[in-house]
Amino acid sequence: MTTRHFLTLRDLSSDELRNLVKRASELKDIRNRGEVYEPLKNKVMSMIFEKSSTRTRVSFEAGMAQFGGHAMFLSPRDTQLGRGEPISDSARVISSMVDVVMIRTFSHKLVQEFAANSSVPVINALTDEYHPCQLLADMQTYFEHRGDIQGKTVTWIGDGNNMCHSYINAARQFDFKLNIACPEGFDPDMTLVEENKERVFITRSPQEAVTNSDLVVTDVWASMGQEEEQKEREEKFTGFQVSPELMDHANQDALFMHCLPAHRGEEISMDMMEDPRSVVYDEAENRLHAQKALLEFLLVK
Ligand code: CP
Ligand code: NVA
């Protein structure tokens, strides 16, 4: 059997994604009941981090431990990856010793090259282009609070970044409409938009975008690796802030999500995280359950 990878949401079928999100809620119940479930006993995951992380590292490491396995943190500072060892050699060697590899890095091509040379599943834990693991948690959170997202309207406010790209993929795989409100010059990848043009709509008006929406999502204005653009972006993104007042233009039962970390006073108002429509902390916790469902899907036959 060929090795399955999870580099974008397109690597799984719509049915597989739906089942995975439902399974994530079951795994959450199992953990909340205090039941021990260890399908990955003696399995090892390598976690390669070339960018910072709180949620991704803690959720994968805790998830592997709860499943009876082990997770190993690798930073480029301490491995030969940081000294220029070819990705293909690293992939062949690391994958010969472990059962699954998770990578957070800058270049999406690097993750693709690693996967092409890996004998075990590779999981994209964020690249400059995509963040599919976050979308598993976001979809699980929507399903848990409001039921099926099929046919709903989601609005993305802010940068056309890695999270926005994954929302475009999610719109296709979970069958929802996606409004994107971003400042000029910060549009998402236009090829991706074009491929999904029957369900993805771009506007410059946050208020127009959120009208009739069931879910509103945002993210930082400057992503990891764009720190030097912070000041310039703060000016260009003025007006693209999600606040309770903006949420009032959405549907009455609309939810608010943010992958975190959040910058209060920039992409969200000071009070948005604590607004009753915000489910950001459930969303963050669901990283654990959704990724356990992903690990089970990739590793338990
Ligand atoms: N949302 C997310 O991926 O968080 P971390 O950067 O803390 O992993
Ligand atoms: N777009 C953000 C997401 C962080 C989880 C970044 O890439 O830094």
Closest ligand 2 atom to residue 219 Cα is: 1
User: Is the CB of 161 inside a 6 Å radius of any atom of ligand 2?
Assistant: yes
User: Is the CB of 164 inside a 6 Å radius of any atom of ligand 2?
Assistant: no
Same domain, 138 and 118: no
Question: Which residue, 59, 130, 10, 72, is CA-closest to 290?
Answer: 59
Assigned domain for 4 exists: no
Q: What is the pLDDT of residue 301?
A: 83
Assigned domain for 179 exists: yes
Same domain, 50 and 126: yes
CATH number of the domain bearing residue 259: 3.40.50.1370
Same domain, 139 and 123: no
Q: What is the pLDDT of residue 1?
A: 65
Q: What is the pLDDT of residue 208?
A: 98
Question: Which residue, 173, 160, 241, 150, is CA-closest to 201?
Answer: 160
Strands (E), 4-148: 44-49, 70-74, 100-104, 122-124
**Tens-of-pLDDT digits for all 301 residues of the chain?**
689 999 999 999 999 999 999 999 999 999 999 999 999 999 999 999 999 999 999 999 999 999 999 999 999 888 999 999 999 999 999 999 999 999 999 999 999 999 999 999 999 999 999 999 999 999 999 999 999 999 999 999 999 999 999 999 999 999 999 999 999 999 999 999 999 999 999 999 999 999 999 999 999 999 999 999 999 999 999 999 999 999 999 999 999 999 999 999 999 999 999 999 999 999 999 999 999 999 999 999 8
Give strand pairing partners of 73: 47
* Residue of the CA atom closest to atom 2 of ligand 2: 223
Assigned domain for 188 exists: yes
Same domain, 157 and 261: yes
Closest ligand 2 atom to residue 126 Cα is: 7
Task: Please tell me the distance between residue 169's alpha carbon and the centre of ligand 2 in angstroms.
Answer: 17
Same domain, 152 and 116: no
Give strand pairing partners of 58: none
Kindly list the catalytic residues. 104, 131, 134, 219, 259, 287
Q: What is the pLDDT of residue 138?
A: 99
Q: What is the pLDDT of residue 112?
A: 98
Assigned domain for 2 exists: no
Determine the Cα–Cα distance for residues 213 and 152; give it in Å rounded to an integer. Answer: 8
Q: What is the pLDDT of residue 2?
A: 85
Same domain, 103 and 171: no
| CA–centroid distance for 185 within its chain | 23
In terms of residue numbers, what domain contains 251? Answer: 134-279
Our count of domains for the chain comes to 2
Angstrom CA distances, 284 to 26, 40, 56, 134, 281, stand at: 17, 23, 9, 9, 5
Assigned domain for 289 exists: yes
